[in-house]
Amino acid sequence: MMKKLLGTLIAALALSSQFAIATESLKLDPAPIDTHDVASLQAGARAFVNYCLNCHSASLMRHSRLQDIGLTEEQIKDNLLFSAGKVGEMMNVAMSKKDAKEWFGAAPPDLSVVARARGADWLYTYLRGFYRDPSTTTGWNNLAFDRVAMPHVLWTLQGERVRTEVILKDPSGKDLGDGHGGVRKVLKLEMVTPGSMSTLEYDVLVRDLVNFLVWVAEPNQILRKQVGFWVLIVLGILILLTWLLKKEYWKDVH
Ligand code: HEC
């Protein structure tokens, strides 16, 4: 338990910056998402179908729902239908839970509501937190999810990184007042094989994926927010009218 906690703490530390990390608070990278950004949602849907749906389902999600983010039925059929036969079908996977368990040691969970369970920041940190670790079954480990059974499926894009520790020492040997006597062990993910994407491009891809997962967890949220806005405006007008009416009625009463 303690070890796990410590692991999570170290992981969060390591992620607070891509390279040298020296903060001590438990921190996830804030996901720069915007569920109104339709282009990003579409890119996320494409990435999800291409890279995640082989293993994970999003069974509460119908493919046809993708029309809500501006995709036509044709586009969905041509580009996004791999696992389901028809546009109206749910996003399911062909792989059985039992096979998955045998292959990976853990069944890939359904991702319909993972964004609500884990939060966008965790997902953003997790999908950017893979590193090579020869001691695990898959050869991958993750800063946000120690010894995760999921391999780094986007590694050709992000590249391969390894985890190293560097000792930072204040050159003057002075105590920096941080309680470590001027010496700090800093976790660092070092790139050993670059991927086909730059760090920025990869971050954008993950942002789109997380954006999509957040939207999938609550596809009505866009409409709900718009409706909510107008409901408040109408209520405001009604309050004003009621107040005017009251003034009119009580005008002659003294
Ligand atoms: C090769 C199969 C495979 C692919 C492809 C895959 N995953 Fe996974 N994923 C897994 C497995 C297995 C787990 C369970 C890990 C565990 O419990 O240790 C998992 C776990 C996760 C979790 C953690 C869920 C939780 O709350 O515990 C998230 C989030 C996730 N995957 C997202 C994704 C996304 C996004 C993609 C597409 C970029 C993806 N996965 C592609 C196999 C896969």
* pLDDT top residue among 73 and 49: 49
Least confident of 19-33, 89-103, 162-176: 19-33
Residue from 11, 4, 79, 74 nearest 45 by CA: 79
| Local confidence band at 89 (pLDDT 50, 70, 90 cut-offs) | low
This prediction has a pTM of 0.75
> How many CA atoms, within 13 angstroms, populate the side-chain half-sphere of residue 43?
18
pLDDT the model gives residue 26: 39
- What confidence tens digit (pLDDT) does each residue in 19-67 have? 444 333 337 899 999 988 999 999 999 999 889 987 888 877 776 678 8
- By percentage, how much of the chain surpasses pLDDT 90? 42
Q: What is the overall mean pLDDT for the chain?
A: 81
Site to probe by mutation for ligand 1, drawn from 48, 54, 55, 202 as the one with most ligand atoms within 8 Å of Cβ, is 55
Q: 153 CB less than 6 Å from ligand 1?
A: yes
Question: What's 135's DSSP letter?
Answer: T
**What tokens does 213 get?**
């997962």
pLDDT the model gives residue 22: 38
The matching CATH number, chosen from 1.10.760.10, 3.40.50.2300, 3.30.1330.60, 3.30.70.100, for 2-219 is: 1.10.760.10
Contacts of 131 (CB under 8 A, 6+ apart): 140, 141, 142, 143, 160, 161, 162, 163, 189
* pLDDT top residue among 164 and 254: 164
In the reported structure, the alpha carbon of residue 127 is separated from the centroid of ligand 1 by a whole-number distance in angstroms of 9
Mean pLDDT (whole number) for 170-186: 66
- Cβ count within 10 A of residue 103: 15
* pLDDT top residue among 232 and 5: 232
